[in-house]
Amino acid sequence: MKYFILFGPPGAGKGTQAAKMKEKYSLRHISTGDLLRKEIAEETELGKMAKSLTDNGNLVPDEIVIGMIRNVLDSDRTAKGFLLDGFPRTEAQAVALDRMLKERGSEVTSVLSLMIDDDEVVRRIKKRAEIENRADDADEATIRNRVRTYHEKTEPVINHYKSTGKYNEVNGTGSIEEVFGTLCGIIDRL
């Protein structure tokens, strides 16, 4: 079983690339953003709590996200592989994921990190807000807080995976096809 992590700041193109990777490699795509938006739309208790945090650009607590991921991994033991998008976002989540996979006799196959600069993040997220009518992407102060939160809480995860030799950085500023080609080149070597 292969376990890929698609990593990068908000707006780096993770969702776009994940859809292409899912199709080409028959991977089960797990997006924590999609899972949380579903909970918010259904107005569950988790959804209400997540909305109050994410509306201000903050992360949902590790234990909730870890539980959601565990539930998805446990619910599908027949997948050819998984593509994790938006998880892990903290070092505690990375450690929990390593533990979950070890329990399954496996480990992370590769971390594919899409890198773009902060101004490009803001530009892309504002554009996405217009196209997808996503209120969570419309306010620049909220976007800047999400970027700051990414730098403070998520970037340290990079060192966790660099130490395992599983980290691969990809320039995310090219065309969708150029970035996809680079990602495929990495995956095809594994």
Name the residues annotated as catalytic: 14, 89, 128, 134, 146
70 class by beta-carbon count within 10 Å (0-12 exposed, 13-18 middle, 19+ buried): middle
**CA 121 – CA 184 distance, rounded (Å):** 23
- Can you read off the two tokens belonging to residue 167? 């980290």
Q: Pick the closest to residue 54 from 68, 73, 70, 35 (CA basis).
A: 35
Token pair 């193109």 is found at 13
DSSP conformation class of 2: E
